[in-house]
Structure formats: C-alpha cells, structure tokens
Structure 1
Amino acid sequence: MTVDTVRDLDRAAERVPASAMMEALWWLHHRAKNQSVYNLTWRMSCDRPLDRPALAAAWQAVAERHEAMRGSLHQGDGRILLEVADSVELPLQWVDVDDPGDVPADDLLRLIAEEVQERPIALDTAPLARVTAVRVGDRHELLLTIHHAVVDGWGVQRLVGELSEAYATATGGGTLTFDGEPVSLREYVRDAEAARTDGRWAASIDYWRKTLDGAATTTLIADHGRTIGAGGAGAMVRFEVSPEAAEAVTTLSKQYFTTPFVVFLASLQAALALGGNGPDVCTGVATANRMTEREQGLVGYVANLVLARTQVSAEDTFGAVVERTRDTVWGMLAHQTVPFSLVFGALDPEAQLRLRDAIPIILTHLGPIGNGLTLGDVRMRMLRAPNRAARTDLGIGVLDVDGGYLLDCEYATGRYDRQTPLRLLHDMDTVLAAGGADPGVRLSTLDISSKSGPAHVDHAPAAPTGGPTGTSALPRSAAMDEVRRAWTDVLGTEPAGPDEDFFATGGRSLKVVQLMSAIEEATGVRLDVPRWLTDPTPQRAAEQVAGGLGSGADTTVVEVRGGDGPHVHLIPGAGGSAQDYRALIAALPGHWRVTQSQERGPLPDVPAMAAAFQADLDAADARPDLLVGWSMGGQIAYEMAARLGAAAPPVAVLDATPPLGYEVGEEGDELVHTTFAGLMAAAVGARLDGGPARTSPGDPELAMRALAAQLTAATGERVSSVMLTERWATFRRHTAAVASYVSDADVPAPALVVGADLADYQLEQWAERFSAAPDVLRVDADHHGTLREPAASHIAAAIVRLQERAAAR
C-alpha cells in the first residue's frame, strides 16, 4: 500500500454524511444547466479603496476559522459526504479597470459581478468560496461568493461581520484572533443525520403529509411555454414597496399580532388567488431554521424550504387572509426542521406530481440582511444580486431598507418576460395598501392587474410551443430543434425556413459567436464556422449538429466560396476565427474561389502548421493561385511558399511580424493579453478605449471573464467568457509559435507586404526574404483594423493587382 493510498483512506475516514439539505443541493447543482445557480454572491459597493493585503489576510483568517469554508462534498457509498480539510488557501482575487472609456462604470461593475457570480464552483474541491475586489476607475466593490450547499444567507452575514472585524485588525497591524470557538459544521450534520434515522422527525413528516394532502403548487401562466428547471436563464428585478403599502405592513403586523413577513405572504397569496388560482393557494417559504443559539452561531447551510397552504376566497377580507396566513405559518414553523427533500420523498407519487420537487414560487424574508455593512472603517452597501440563472420560476425576497421594504425577484427568463413578475409585485403592493387602509376590504373589490388571469395551478411541466413564424417550414429533427431555439434566442425571431440566411436576418459577427456558443452549450457540438459561413443557414447548422463536424472534418482545408476565377487561400492569424476575413472576402472579386486553412488540432509551431496546411491542400488537389495570411497567418504563408520554392504562388503578408524570433517575458505577457483583447474586440465590433482589465495573476479564466464583461458592456450584447477562454488558450499557443519562428529563406514568388502596426524597418526585413522586391502597402489602421473597412478594400485591390502581374508573367 502506497503512502498516497494511506492518505486517501485517512481522508475518506474523516468524511461524514452530509445533511439532507446539503445532499439535495449537491444533486440540484449537478442537474442544473448553469451550475452557478446556487452560488451566493454578495455584491457590495465600498466608499473608499480597499487595503488588499489586509483584506487577503483577514479573508484567510476568517475562512480558516469555519469548517464550512474548508468543506467539500463528495459522492461515495451511495451518499453525499462532507469532508473538512485541515487548512485551505483562499487567495484574494482582484479585477482592475483603470479607464472604462465610454462605458458607464455602473454597467461594467454589474457585468463583472455577473461574470464572477457565474463562474462555477466545483463541489468536490475546497474551498467553495472566493472573494474578489473590483475597481473600475475610482469605484470600488467587494464580491463575496460562496456555494449555497455549505453556507446560507444567515451564515454569509456572520462571515461578513467577522471579516469586517478581522480587516480592522489587519489594517491596524494587530494580531488576527477571534473570541470563542466556532460552531462545528460536522457536529451539526452528524446530529441532523441522527434525527433522520432515530424517528425524531416522524411526527413532523406526518404533519406535512396531512397538511399537503390534495395540495398543488401555484405558479404564473408562462409568457413562453418552455420547461425550465433549476439553472435556466434568469434575471433579477427590484421593486420598491410604496409608502402606503409599507405603512400597512407595520399596521397590520401590530393589529394581528404577527410579523411583517406574514403580511407579505398574505398579500402574495391573495394576489395569486384573485389572479385565477382559486381558493387553495400553495407557495414555498424559505425559513432560516435557526431555532437554537447553537444554530444561530453556525456558519453553514441550515435554511430550509417549507410549503404555506392557505384557503383564500374572493369574498374574504384581507384581514381574514392575514389571520389565516398567520395561523398557517405558526403551524408550519413548528415543523420546519425536517428538510424539504425528506418531506417530499415521504409523499405519495400523486402528491409529488401535484407539488413538484422544484417549488415554482418561493417567498423569503431577508429582513435587514445586508444593512449597515462595513469592512473595518469602510462603509459598504449591498447591491442587487448579480444572478444570471434562476433557481425556480419566481423567487421573491423581502428586504427591510431604511424604514421601508424592497422586493427582489429572481425569475426564469425562459418562462417570463420582465413585466410578468413586475405585475405580480405591483399586485402585492396594491393588496397591501388597500388592506392597510381598511383590513375589512373584500378582495373581490380590489382592482389588480392579475384579475385577468396570470395565476394558475400548474400540475405538469409546460410543453414547448412554437414561435410566431416559421416553425412549420422547418424540417422536424432533434438537431433542427436545437438550432431553431439557439437561432431564436440570438436573433429574437425564429427562422422562416431552413435556407434563411443568418446575415440577411440581422446577424453579424458578434451574433455568430453567440449562436455558435448557444448551439455548443445545448448539444456539445462545436460547429465548423468557416464551412457554415459558406451557407449560413439553419439547415447547414443542423447538418453539422446531427453529424458532428460533418464530412471533411479530418482536413484543414475549408471551402469558403466557390468560383471559376483565381483561387486565393487564406491563413488565419493567432487565435483567429473564420470571421476575421469576412470584409476582405467581400471586397475580392465575386468570381474568385476562396478557401481557408482551419487548424483541427493543436499544432506546435509555424513550420508544423505550414506543413499540415500544405499537405491538406495537396491532398485536395487545391493548389492555390495566391497565399494570403494576416498576423501569424502571414508567417505561415511565407513558410508554405518557402517550402514550395520555385512552385510557390504569389504571397500576401498582412501586418505580420518578420520571422526573427523573440522572447515574451513578463512585460510581453501583458502585451500578449492586450493584443488578444484587441483582437477579440475587433471580432465583435467593440472598442476598449481604456485597455483591457488587469486581474490577479495565475487565473486566466478570471481575466477572460473580466474581458467578457468589458466586451458585453461595449457592444450591449452578451459575449461568452467560455468562448474567450478557449480562444485565449489557442492564442497563447499561437503566440509562442510566432515568437519561436526564425527563418531567412529566400522566396522567389511575387509578394505583397502590408503594414499597419509594422515599423518601416520590419517592412524592410520582410523585403529581404523575397527574391524580387515585394509590393509594399501602408494602410491607415491598427493591427486589427487591417481586415476591416476601409483597409480591407485597399488590400483587396492590391491583391488583385498582385495576381494580375503574376498571371501576366
């Protein structure tokens, strides 16, 4: 037995069965389409710059103190197990944007927070938490992200309080210590496991069986008939409760000896009942479930989900609904300790079908959580959660703010347009204001928008429905259905038929990226973009989805455009895509044949790329009349021509570095990232006036998420950080290939050398590598603008002249 095996056994022996709620979250996390859905991110604005070394020390000290921060979840022996490491490293992450340019700082800060929130957390690797300091210009924010499987909102509040104290100590140069021993998470879950098996919860489970007999959960009629589970696309809407409704909450709470939350719950159930649900209303309620001092001191996942079922008639007074809701809540809170997953599992199949394990509407009382936040002497303000994924149809949180209330509603955008949750929140406000003015008011007399029927009992998942146009014209297949959905999401309308042109329907470069990302996310198939661009239709996309990359996927040669004229072959730049040459192709004569090389797998250096590309051209009997390469592609075109010798066709080198070799180094790394950011900005038609964000080192994914936020802010449309991360890995490999390439081969072919960012001496270095003096063209553009108009038309004209002279010879 090896030492590593012994360590693995020792580690496994330290694992304990996770609590039922932690176990349920583990399964929900792995089922979710977007695995960031159960990330809890507290986004907090700061009134001054943060001392980052002190923050890093304070964060590490707080995280080391609590078992939840060192915990991870593992599947084994048919159970989900909690493991707590002895220690973990939790480095501070940071993002800096010195100058956001024309992009509003608010927009960029929000998008950075959304990208940080959306970064998945692997549940089997501690820590399941991270903290990120963000600066945009002179604006500062702190993002604290923790997975819900180990910590709930109450626990996050305790962590932020301790972090504030530790930060104050660290900035003052003191020793980081804490009063008292923390409550053990392992002891809590051991006790919960005992309660699961020793009959302690039997009476409560019987209560829930009786209470939920015949109940069906309530939701709203969907604007879009899509079935949405946890992790579907989501958004947040914030609603400020009117002064009249806020005053009513206070008045009614006192009058009926209950809590503000009960009054809000009564208003929700009244609005749903009036909206067409009928008298039996059943919604979810998230409870803190911290009944003892020990539980209140625990940093962990203790919260639970329970169902509130109330009878509401249109002829009831609102005061009567408050009383009935109050009694319902008191009854259910006495049995709130039993995890919802166990309650649901104890119900008969028919009851499970009516209720569903994903409760569609959930109300949560967040109370004063996030009020009065500080980090030492830094004042912080809680901002709206940066979620892009929804845990259920509608999740409504009630926050106490400055003597009033805010309602934060997370909703599934695949089911609802923004006005639908807003309408429900307005209806709750109307009910509260009227009920506060007169608790004896009958619900039937209230004028609320949902009387037209936005509420109903949904017993089964909704079946997908077609859009307004075009569905019947599309052939039916699983592949075409996925393409249709992605096409509709990206362009906002369904394709009218299988041969509809993507660009004629409003598509452009950024939307191509979005379409490809959506199709790959849904199907796992990465489309061959150059091949698709020759016929950018739903039919061609569906063919690739159905057959992987389709026929010819083993060759690097892509037929971009047919023609009976000269054959020009394009070679991509470092990290480049098929879209880079679109403007140049459009500017070349329409009868010219255009092909392109597309790397199928990683090739180590420029000579290897040149050899592979040339071999595939030869195999396809597709010897070109011209070789054209931009950036790294210029080096590859030169290398291909050098290998062909006297048989080489004319070569056009577009703003490519001469093959002299160079070292990158640390400063070069920053330049490489800046160059890549510019390339991606050009690809989506954006500008980064202030340069790309800088991020904590050693974390390329964070850097790409920050860049995605900048590009999204600049274009107004979502840019995929996953796509950027993949392109970055390719670009880094290509950059290394360019840096290592050295050649002084004399190429006898006619040539065109285009300079944009190149210096004059670099143009001269290129000229020395051709037997005859090449044509030299200076264009008024930067490196990325070389392939955009108006430079693309000037270059196309020069390429035509080059071909004509070569043909005349």
Structure 2
Amino acid sequence: MQLKELLAELSGKGVQLWVEGEQLRVRAPKDAINADLKEFLANNKAELIEWLRSPQISDNSIRLLPIPRTGNLPLSFGQERLWWLSQLAPSSSVYNIPVAFHLAGKLDIAALESSFAEIVHRHEVLRTSFPIEDGKPQHAIAPHLPIQLPVTDLQSTPLKQREQVIQNLVTQAAREPFDLASQPLWRIKLLQLGVEEYVLFLVIHHTIFDGWSFKVLFRELNSLYTSFYSHKAPELTELAIQYADYASWQRQYLQGNVLESLLTYWKQQLDGTISPLDLPIDKHILITSDRGASQSVELSPHLTDAVKELSREAGCSLFMTFLAAFQTLIYRYTGHSEIITCSPLACRQQSETEGLIGYLNNLVPLRIDISGNPSFKELLLRVRRVALGAYAHQDLPFQKLLELPNLGHAKLTQTMFSLLSEEHLSLQLPGIVVQPIEVHNGTANFDLSLSIWEKGETLKAALEYKTDLFSASTIIQMLDNFQILLAAIVKNPEQNLSSLPLFTKKDTRTVPQPNSAPFLAPRDALECQIAKIWEEVLDIKPIGVRDNLFALGANSLLAVRLGDHLQQVLHKSIPLATIFQATTIEQLAAILSQEEYALSESSIAGIQPLGSNPPLFLFEGVGIYYPLVPHLGLEQPIYGLVGELGKGKLSQCDTIEDLAAYYLAEIQTIQPKGPYFLGGVSWGGVVALEIAQQLAAKGEKVGLLALLDTIRPSSRKHLPIAKRLQYHYRQLTQAGFSHILQKVNNRFKKLKKKFSLVYDKLGLEHELVASTNVARLAMRDAYNQAAMKYIPQVYPGKITIFAASDRSESIGEEVTPDLGWGNIAEQGVEIHQIPGDHLGILQEPHVQILAEKLKSCLEAQKLVKK
C-alpha cells in the first residue's frame, strides 16, 4: 500500500494522524487499525512525520470548499494538459479508460440503469465537457443528463461467433475517440447473451476519471444497485464538494511558497543529464505513434505470498518492492545504472477528495540510482527513500515539471509502473456472479508500462507496450523473465544485482499457461489457422488461444506433428523448439506474425521455469514431461531439452558424448553452478548419465541422476530357447488361450511399428507415427544408434532408477531389476518400481506415483522445500 493510499484509507475509517513536537499522534475508533497497519505505522514513523510536515500538508491557509457556479470555471492542471494533447491528436484513444465485466445471474436492468443515473447526478464531473471559448477550454457542467442504458441482444448470435462479436463491440467502444467539447465523456453498454448472462462495458475519458475513481464508482454502484434492487431508497451521503471545487482549489493552492518548495525539490531530483534507456526494442522508428497492446500473466500464489513477505520484512510497501523489481528488470536488460520510471500517484491527501470521481492523480518521475552493484535489499531502501520523497511532493503537476530547464529534451515517457488494489476493479451486485474481462484501447502512452493488481489470492502483471517498438513475443518473454527475476529475488534478496538472472532479447524461456484460464476464441486469421491445426491434431474442439498445448494432452510426438502441419499450411520454417517454447496459440501467433520472426537457437524449453528450488533438467523431450508439473509443485522449476537435426552445433553431434556436451552448455545458461538435478526417460537417461559424467569430470556436484526406465545399452540378454519354452508353457497353463491371444496382439503391435517406419520414409500419411518429416526420423534413428553404441564408464556418484513394472512386451528378454546399471555407479543404485509400461509411467494415473517418489528423492537431498 502506498503512503498516500494508507492515509486516505485511515481517513475514511475516522483515523487522524498529526505531529506534536517529535511525536506521531494517532486518534482512531475501536478496531479501525489492524495488526498490519499498526506495524506499518511503527516501521514508517519517521517518514510519516516528514510527510505530514511537508508544505502541502502543513499549509492549511487555503481550504478546499465549494465555490459558486458562476463565470468561467477553471480546468485542473491535469485536465488542461490532456486537453492540449487531445488537440494535437483528436482521433487518438490513448486516454480512453475501458472496463468490462461478465455478469451471470438474474440482472435487474432497471435497477442498474437507475444506479448509473444516480451516480451521474451525484458527480458533476460526469456531466462535464470542455467547449472552447476565445481559444481556451471551459469547464461546462450540464445541470441534468438523461441516462438510458443501451442493451444489445446477442442471444440469437451463434455461440461460435458470439465471442468474436463481443470482442469486436468492446474493442470498438474502447478505441472510439471522444469529442471533449461534447457530453458525455463516457459511454456504457450492456450486451445480453442469455436469460441470465450479460456483458457490461464502460469507457470513460481520462479528463474526468482516474484509477482511484474506479473505487468510488464501484462502491457507489454496489450500494445503489442493492438499494434499487430491494426497492429501498439510496443511502449514500451527499458529497461535500465536487470536482470543479477541487480544480479551483488546486489553482489557488499551487502558488507562492508551496509552488516554490515543490519546484525546488524536483529540480534537485532531476538535476543533471538524463540519458534515454536502451530498451530491447525490435524496431527502430524515429517517430512512434501511440499504437499499443498489452500482455498479462498471473503470478503464482506462492510467488505472491513471497513478495508480500519480503515487503513486510523490509518495511516497504508492495508498490516499492514491485517498483524495485521492475527497475531491476530494466537494469538487467539495459545495463543503465540510473533509471527513471514514472508512476501515477493519487493526490487525494484531503479527506474531502476521497469520495470524488475525477482526474486527481498525477505522474511523478522516480529516479533511482542503481550504481555500485547493490543487493536487492539495498536497492529497495533506495527506492523507498525516493518514493517517500515523491509522495511528500506529489502535488506538482506533471506539466509544470516538464517546464524545468533540463527536461526540455529528456524522455520521461519510456517506462511507467502502477499498482492497483483489488477494490479498484471490485464490482459486486447481489445475486450476480461478476467476472472482469480484459479489454484494451489499442494504445500505449509509454514505451513500456507495467501494472500490478490483486486478483483474489494472487497478483496479476500486465505489460503495455508500443507496437511500433516491440513485438508481442518480446513482451511475453519480458513477462516471463520478470517472474524468473522475482523468484530469484525472493529466494535471496541479499544477493547483488549482478548475481540475478541476466536477460537479453534472445532469451526465449516461456511460462506454461494454466489450463483453467478463461476461454478466449481466436481473434484473427492467423490464430484461426493455428487453432484449426491444433484441433485437428489433438482431436479437441474448441481450443482457446490461451489454452496450453501440453495441458491439453499433447506430447513431444504430437508437437512434431503440429510443427509439420503448421509448416505445410503457413509455408514458414518452424523449429520444433518454437513449438515447445510458445505453448499457446496466442504466443505462437505473436511470434509467427512478425515479418522476420527470430528462430530460436536453443534446445532448452521451460516446462515450468518458476520456483525457488534448483531446476530439474530432463532430456530428449518437453511435452512428455509436462504431466509431472502439477505433482512436483510450483516450487520445482523443470526444463526439457530436445534436439533438432541441422540446427547449429547440434548437427555436428554424432555421439552421445557430443550431444551431452552440447546440452551441458545449454544447461549452464540457466544454471552456471551445481548441484545439478538431471533425468531422462528411455535413451534420454543415457544422455543424462553422460552429462553427469562430464559434470563430475569438471568437479561439479550432481544432486540427482534419475533414469526413467532407461535400460543400459547392450545389457538386454535373450533367454535360452529352453527357458523361453518353459516360460511360455507356464504362462499357457496359468492363463490359457488368452495368453496366446495376448502374445499375438503384442507381436502384431511390433509389426505395425516396423511397417510405420517404412511408411514414414516413403512420406505417406498414417496414424502410427507422429511425424512425416524424414529428417527428424533420421535424427531420432541416428541418436538411437549413438545410444546403442555408447559405452558408459564408471560413474562416481549414485544412480536412481525409476523402472516400469509392466514389461509384458519384453517376455523374450531378461532385464535385471537395476536395468543393467548396477556395476556402473560407484555409490550404488536406488531402485523404485513404478506402475505402468515404458512411457505409461509418465502418464496419469501412474505419473502421480512417479512424481511422489521423484519428489522424495529431491527432498532427501535437502534441496527442495516440503
């Protein structure tokens, strides 16, 4: 919570704070201050005293009172600035603020319409426009503004088209510019989808609205709708002042000593040369438009809790912690030791302004010194000092700040950060289930803007960006990296910034999207093409653009098929690694939509790259390991590695030793030092063993080497004919004729597999193989041959084996319980039997047992938190 918001919240609860001598005094009703607020007040006593003594708090010579509605009413400084900007770009929607909600339940439309009408009646600013007189804008307030809630009936629209129709209507409303000279400067609409299903969306121009105003609007809407729905009179108290009163007061207040004090502070803060940031832009354009887009991600509950705990321990607000993390991210991308990030502050220190709708907030530039390679905790203290100073001097209008002499050519609109509480978007209506819908106005005021807001028990992060500068894939990657950075910070906030993950524009690790995300239909031709291919290959309909490929049941083989189909339809070369790293239609379309999209040169993909524990690296697969994720937990990072023939150095890997050396270099871009946790299924386990050997030769520690049903090459032994006949006779007497049918069926399966390889080499389509790509099959065959020729040396550590208990197809072979590895490991082998066949141990329900035993092995190393 920011200091200004804390004080406003306390004021709303009847809590008074003041300074007597050197003491901070508090007067509060019973139970108004909980334990967290009490701790925050104690930890921030000195800063609160300084803030309460600041000029704009201590100078009470000009009171905020109602003024006569005669003559020309002035605009606030913020309104004046936005008006001038709108004259320069009248067709822009950059200052449109849209919100939308899905409503499920028996909605009383008349009560909702009456509620909006009452809110418009209560707040003059919602009846305000800015006509021009004598070349200047005037504050014109309509005495009355009739309200009719327009309803569009979409019940007859086919379900397949409805999602796109809704998206088009909401987007169109969000992006349609306002004429500031005409009322109203907001638009509202209700879409009826069913008898008890609606979408409500509202768009308001920033000249009459800000982030805090959402809290006021929804608080009053909740109260009024409840009253009208119950046929009771509204109970809201009359407002003491209106926005026009605030605008007049601001003009009088920001003069003389107050203005001089504010200017002096900001001159000191922004003194000297301000260099532009070298952001990781994809396109170099001299003059950019305000075209923009946004990408978002939800932080895990554990990461949310860890960030909150770090804030409490450091005596900082959540705003300060996330601002420090965002600036660290920019620092790790750019290397700049001084970063300015703007942030909107509420500017509602007076209790009278708490209940106002209107544009009161102000942008302040937060200039942070990151030099000297500080720890994150030290950086957090620097951010705290700067933020508290900005809170105490937040009333200088941004346009006045831009008039400072040294800011004439400085670019302050590169990065912005904001933090919203859940109540900003908390709409509650009796008998209605309300869910917010993401909507964007298609613009961006800053090059990069990070917003954090609460969503239930978790936090959500959205990164808005200028599309003239950045591609969607770069922004998705930055959000991924932001989560990785946060995980590293909360794990050890004492480490220096240079020890935190280093990011570049080519870093392509991605985060799997939860399959429980709201369904979102394809929005353009490219997403429709990809969705159609996914639906055909996976045999699932419909698939949303944010559904995760592997959460839908795909594996590595199906990913290969998808890649082949995409290449045939889109006529673009799509590396297999791209399929593994862009695991949603939205992510893949964002990459492929670029005219010259960057092909990934990495063979490593983040199956689950977040978490505070050391990563687990699994070989020769990505999708096949995805079922492990929910059972190993969010604290366990998991990376998959899979090769592709003809890709850089990988094409030169003729032996297991060469392949292991290549993968080891990839691994160390994620984890430079041990202990390492390695594993692999089938011959991927052979690769894991050789990597462990090479790590041991370098003196690095291997915490776990897990072989998932990997049989040692050349260890299979055929039984003598007499023993094989004896075995079959025993099975026949016990199982009868069903045993013979089982054997025939198994034999038929093997023949089908052999024929499938022949078919595939002829390039024929069939259902037995996952890919028609001969090159990939040749690569798999070459690697299999390399694995069979591999002669493992004695390994100085321990080998942990997870053996499939079902070996019904290996009757003619003798496989020892240790799968042939017993005399290879100096420290012995540990064997776990897992129900299921060779690959079935990685599928439900058997994967649960595999994950449980695998997690126990990791915990035994005391490196995974229980």
The answer to which of 184-193 and 426-435 deviates more is: 426-435
SS at match of 2:139: strand
In 1, the alpha carbon distance for the partners of 2:254 and 2:88 equals 24
Quote the RMSD (CA, aligned, Å): 2.6
Task: Say whether 1:253 aligns with 2:253.
Answer: no
Q: Report 1:91-490 matches (<5 A).
A: 91-101=148-158, 103=160, 105-137=162-194, 139-176=197-234, 178-213=236-271, 214-218=273-277, 220-227=279-286, 232-313=290-371, 315-345=373-403, 347-348=404-405, 350-356=406-412, 359-370=413-424, 372-450=426-504
Letter in structure 2 aligned against 1:129:
W
- 1:521 maps to none
Q: TM-score, normalised by structure 1?
A: 0.52
Letter in structure 1 aligned against 2:245:
E
In 2, the alpha carbon distance for the partners of 1:265 and 1:52 equals 41
In 1, the alpha carbon distance for the partners of 2:90 and 2:285 equals 14
- Shift, 1:292, TM fit: 2.2
- Shift, 1:335, TM fit: 0.7
SS at match of 2:160: coil
Q: What are the Cα deviations for residues 304-327 of structure 1, in whole angstroms up to 9, with x where unaligned?
A: 101111111472211111111111
In 1, the alpha carbon distance for the partners of 2:288 and 2:245 equals 33
- CA 1:324/1:452 → structure 2, altered by over 3 Å: closer, same or farther? farther
- Shift, 1:49, TM fit: 4.5
SS at match of 1:354: coil
SS at match of 1:271: helix
SS at match of 1:47: strand
- 2:544 maps to none
Are 2:211 and 2:424, in contact at CA under 8 Å, matched by a contact in 1? no
Structure 1's unaligned 5+ residue stretches are: 1-10, 455-505, 507-809
Are 2:101 and 2:200, in contact at CA under 8 Å, matched by a contact in 1? yes
Q: What are the Cα deviations for residues 614-649 of structure 1, in whole angstroms up to 9, with x where unaligned?
A: xxxxxxxxxxxxxxxxxxxxxxxxxxxxxxxxxxxx
| Counterpart pick for 2:119 among 62, 68, 87 | 62
In 2, the alpha carbon distance for the partners of 1:65 and 1:451 equals 50
- 2:82 maps to 25
- CA 1:28/1:37 → structure 2, altered by over 3 Å: closer, same or farther? same
Letter in structure 2 aligned against 1:18:
L
- Shift, 1:83, TM fit: 1.7
Are 1:223 and 1:416, in contact at CA under 8 Å, matched by a contact in 2? yes
Are 1:372 and 1:381, in contact at CA under 8 Å, matched by a contact in 2? no
Letter in structure 1 aligned against 2:265:
Y
- CA 1:369/1:220 → structure 2, altered by over 3 Å: closer, same or farther? farther
SS at match of 2:352: helix
Aligned pair count?
440
In 1, the alpha carbon distance for the partners of 2:175 and 2:152 equals 15
Q: What are the Cα deviations for residues 655-710 of structure 1, in whole angstroms up to 9, with x where unaligned?
A: xxxxxxxxxxxxxxxxxxxxxxxxxxxxxxxxxxxxxxxxxxxxxxxxxxxxxxxx
Are 2:74 and 2:244, in contact at CA under 8 Å, matched by a contact in 1? no
- Shift, 1:291, TM fit: 1.7
Letter in structure 1 aligned against 2:248:
R
Are 2:345 and 2:362, in contact at CA under 8 Å, matched by a contact in 1? yes
| Counterpart pick for 2:72 among 11, 15, 26 | 15
Are 1:286 and 1:304, in contact at CA under 8 Å, matched by a contact in 2? yes
Are 2:447 and 2:466, in contact at CA under 8 Å, matched by a contact in 1? yes
- Shift, 1:336, TM fit: 0.6
- 1:684 maps to none
- CA 1:28/1:229 → structure 2, altered by over 3 Å: closer, same or farther? farther
Structure possessing the higher relative contact order (Cα contacts under 8 Å, 6 or more residues apart): 1
- Shift, 1:362, TM fit: 0.8
Are 1:15 and 1:84, in contact at CA under 8 Å, matched by a contact in 2? no
Q: What are the Cα deviations for residues 500-542 of structure 1, in whole angstroms up to 9, with x where unaligned?
A: xxxxxx9xxxxxxxxxxxxxxxxxxxxxxxxxxxxxxxxxxxx
- Shift, 1:30, TM fit: 2.9
Are 1:17 and 1:79, in contact at CA under 8 Å, matched by a contact in 2? no
- Shift, 1:40, TM fit: 1.2
- CA 1:413/1:19 → structure 2, altered by over 3 Å: closer, same or farther? same
Q: Report 1:493-504 matches (<5 A).
A: none
- Shift, 1:441, TM fit: 1.2
- Shift, 1:371, TM fit: 5.0
Are 1:117 and 1:387, in contact at CA under 8 Å, matched by a contact in 2? yes
Letter in structure 2 aligned against 1:352:
G
- CA 1:66/1:282 → structure 2, altered by over 3 Å: closer, same or farther? same
Letter in structure 2 aligned against 1:235:
A
Are 1:287 and 1:305, in contact at CA under 8 Å, matched by a contact in 2? yes
In 1, the alpha carbon distance for the partners of 2:125 and 2:263 equals 28
- CA 1:360/1:90 → structure 2, altered by over 3 Å: closer, same or farther? farther
- Shift, 1:150, TM fit: 0.9
Matched-pair identity in %: 25
- Shift, 1:330, TM fit: 0.7
Q: Report 1:628-647 matches (<5 A).
A: none
- CA 1:312/1:196 → structure 2, altered by over 3 Å: closer, same or farther? same
Letter in structure 2 aligned against 1:355:
K
In 1, the alpha carbon distance for the partners of 2:332 and 2:362 equals 28
- Shift, 1:372, TM fit: 4.1
- 2:96 maps to 39
- Shift, 1:199, TM fit: 4.0
SS at match of 1:103: helix
- 1:80 maps to 137
In 1, the alpha carbon distance for the partners of 2:279 and 2:145 equals 44
- 2:852 maps to none
In 2, the alpha carbon distance for the partners of 1:216 and 1:136 equals 52
Q: What are the Cα deviations for residues 776-806 of structure 1, in whole angstroms up to 9, with x where unaligned?
A: xxxxxxxxxxxxxxxxxxxxxxxxxxxxxxx
Q: TM-score, normalised by structure 2?
A: 0.48
Letter in structure 2 aligned against 1:149:
T
Letter in structure 1 aligned against 2:77:
A
Q: Report 1:711-726 matches (<5 A).
A: none
SS at match of 1:395: strand
In 2, the alpha carbon distance for the partners of 1:105 and 1:450 equals 40
Q: Report 1:454-603 matches (<5 A).
A: none
Letter in structure 1 aligned against 2:191:
V
Structure 2's unaligned 5+ residue stretches are: 1-67, 509-569, 571-866
- CA 1:150/1:217 → structure 2, altered by over 3 Å: closer, same or farther? farther
- Shift, 1:71, TM fit: 1.0
SS at match of 2:87: helix
- CA 1:87/1:14 → structure 2, altered by over 3 Å: closer, same or farther? farther
- Shift, 1:241, TM fit: 2.0
In 2, the alpha carbon distance for the partners of 1:389 and 1:99 equals 32
- CA 1:237/1:50 → structure 2, altered by over 3 Å: closer, same or farther? same
Are 1:247 and 1:436, in contact at CA under 8 Å, matched by a contact in 2? no
